[in-house]
């Protein structure tokens, strides 16, 4: 449930020009679960690291500890083919 909440925070703020309040909201929501925060933030930054989301993704990469391996997983998921139901 926590990862869903963190994903929602990132998604609704993806186009922000001021990432500080978003980072603060993520930290407050995660509390002591910094492992879950690192995973959610890393997957988001890796998957959505494009032109329009650059500000938030760059802030996540610099402000959230342990994000590196999860960014790689997010990038790998982005480059996979589209999955559809048969």
For the chain, the structural domain boundaries read 2-78
Written as tens digits, the pLDDT of the chain (86 aa) is: 999 999 999 999 999 999 999 999 999 999 999 999 999 999 999 999 788 999 999 999 999 999 999 999 999 998 887 777 77
Q: How many CB atoms lie within 10 A of CB 56?
A: 24
CA–CA distances in Å: residue 76 to residues 58, 73, 86: 18, 5, 23
- Which pLDDT score, from 0 to 100, does residue 74 have? 93
- Which pLDDT score, from 0 to 100, does residue 50 have? 82
- Which pLDDT score, from 0 to 100, does residue 75 have? 92
- Which pLDDT score, from 0 to 100, does residue 82 have? 75
User: Angle between the 20-30 and 34-47 helix axes, to the nearest 10 degrees?
Assistant: 140
């Amino acid at each position: 449930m926590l990862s869903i909440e963190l994903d929602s925070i990132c998604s609704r703020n993806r186009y922000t020009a001021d990432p500080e309040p978003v980072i603060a909201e993520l930290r407050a929501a995660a509390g002591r679960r910094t492992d879950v925060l690192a995973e959610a933030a890393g997957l988001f930054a890796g998957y959505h690291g494009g032109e329009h989301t650059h500000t938030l993704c760059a802030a996540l990469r610099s402000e959230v500890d342990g994000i590196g391996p999860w960014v790689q997983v997010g990038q790998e998921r982005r480059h996979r083919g589209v999955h559809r139901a048969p």
